[in-house]
Structure 1
Amino acid sequence: MVRYIDLDAKKQTLLSSLFGSNADKVAMIRLQNPWGEIEWNGPWSDTDSRWEEVTEAQKQELGMTVDEDGEFWMPWEEFVKYFTDISVCQLFNTGCSTASGVFNEYIFFDEWSTNGVKCGAPKDRSGGCQNFSATFCFNPQYRFDVYEPGSEMMIALTQKEIQNEAAKQREPYVTIGLHVMKVETNRRHRIHQAINPAINPVGTSDYASARSVYLHLTDIGPGRYILMPTTYAPREQAEYMLRIYSQHDCNPKLLLRDFPKTSPFMCTKLSSVTRLKIIEATIHSPPKDSNLFVSITSDKERVRTISQKSSTLVEWNEPFVFHRNDLRQKYSIEIIQEGPKRLQRIGKCFLTGLTDNDTRIQLLDIQSIDGEKHSNNLAKTRIGNLKVEISSFDDHMYL
């Protein structure tokens, strides 16, 4: 707390108090030593004679005491001289009110730990920052969703202080930071290879050897994201508290599993992972005054993109991930019109994915649903094309 204190207040006359004080003022800041013993002993310390120039009423208003409780007042000029860093605490309205400006608060307690395994082993949770690409994803991962365009989010990461009681000081902080990446819309498990931030940047905090770091994200688009609190270097261990503040429910969740759990009745294990990205569609005669989205079906799994305004060129740039127990996957893809009253399929295409440990772009013909009756003339049933990117690997923990 910073206050201006009147000096020579005892010497003020009735006229000076009525028509404006001519007393000098000094800027003071109220501080507390968290160890509760040693206090400031320079100018304006508890026993300094300068306090005699301040009235008892003002001392009482300030809460001025001479107890050795670690709390003291210090001149602002001295504070600026001796202190080098200030941490500002921002308070969020997390009440139950429905008024604007209310934030949802989510708090997680966890740790960076090697868990007694080698660096980069599946149970390792101390992978370091992006500079260490081989181990970066071996950090705690939190999934969250954004549903509204232009969303805002604040994230605070605080590491636990380890105090050395004998030396009356804390142990050095480890260097920490935050990283957020946009991932596949249907991802429900840990990511194993970071998506290139140059292609789809979201946010990375500064890395600091400090108690807390902060990341403010603005204008976030709809989709699924992964948040990773990390230390700067691998193999560093510390406990932390992670707080997320968002204006909408983002449903954050700590990801524990590396891949989907297979049924005990299945004779085969997972053998491949595929990332299928719906890039854009070119439609010759698009429906008017409506939205379009893409629906993808593979085995028993069905996913969809967000809706975009109908036009001759519709862009989604939305990725999906699929884990499979074979090296050949089939995908049925439909273009669906989202009208005011009902959904209507306007076209479809098919894709067969081969696990070739590569990434490629394919242009698929969109066949009209109405044209199925006249399949002998493909030229008349083709209504456009769909551009997709497919990446398939025989290591189910590659992506």
Structure 2
Amino acid sequence: MRVLLSFLFIMSICCSVFPWGRSIVRSVFILPALISATQPGALISNGETIQHTQITISSQTGPVYLDIFQPTGHDPLIRSARGGVLIVPGVGDNRQVPQLINLSEALARTGLIVMDMTTPILMNYDISEQDTDATVQAFKKLESLPGMAGRHSGMISFSGGVPLTCFAAADPRIKDKVAYVAAFGGYFDTTTLIETFGRRSITIDGKAEAWHPIDIPIQVLTNITIKNFSYDEQTTLRSGLATNAQPLSAEQLQTLSSGAQAVYHLLKGDEPGQVESNMKALPPDVQQLLAELSPKRVIKDIRAPIFLLHDRNDASLPVTETREFDAALTQLQHKHEYVEFHIFDHVEVRSGLNLGQLIGDGTHLFSTLDNLLYAGS
């Protein structure tokens, strides 16, 4: 009994004092919340009480909306036991999405200060390099919160939020302060992404397989690529690429410029054999914009370790994009991890999973979560 008590005492010290111990404990509590998409009773009863506040800050492009989830108890004796996480959940207004709230609250109950960020651009289903400043300002605001002085903060991004966290992590204002970047279900190169949409297929391990995107990423890419077309062309493209829209007629296509026609065929996926020529037909400003919106552009400037996660059968953004991200980081010898899953519908846990799927992917998710939280410790 004395030996057992001594062992438990030593383990409790290790789990509270050492960063690796704290990350393991946090992972043990957070993983069931992620897998089940609800907070288990053990986390609620043993975790910290939390409060949720909403604030708005300013950036170069306008307001930045922040949801903050933070523990309400006293600061821990070990200062590094507290930490911060900025979450950029992607396009649309995700502030009321249950799985995002669940993740934010679960992280906060383990002692982290969590900040969810969105902007008017993201809420309008668009992505802009201009939102880099909004992400930087959100990160700086997180660092300035009471109790955060001298503590580490990382960034977690989902889907369309991935480029923004990459751009911010490479920004000279905060690049030396970012503890880690976690990119879940994002993309690496906007140009190859558009090409994949045009081909409606991906190549995995040397074998081509059909790939059909859902409507939301088509809407986002439409918003990104048509900004500089005429009003009439924008109207025609939006209607032709809308959900369940009928294909544009030959007469309608003839009213479009060659660049607008190329955008239509690439996003509609109706000319898979002409992707290369359609890419060349894109106006120079669109091609430049695609390059600007690519995380590929900044990875040499990111100093933080990067955690890449993607579901193998993602129908929003193809897994091949994150595989290319992984390959590029490997070539640069940049510290990173890459894990593929089979239990997510893009970035949300699917329902009706069997035990084998949960155990297999849950093990990988626990390892990544542990390493991520350790990097933030």
Please give the range of the TM-score, normalised by the shorter of the 2 chains: under 0.3
Task: Work out which structure has the larger RCO, using CA pairs closer than 8 Å and 6 or more positions apart in sequence.
Answer: 2
Under a length normalisation based on structure 1, what TM-score does the superposition of the two structures give? 0.24
Larger strand proportion of the pair = 1
Rg comparison, structure with higher value: 1
Q: Say which structure is richer in helix.
A: 2
Give TM-score scaled by structure 2 length: 0.25
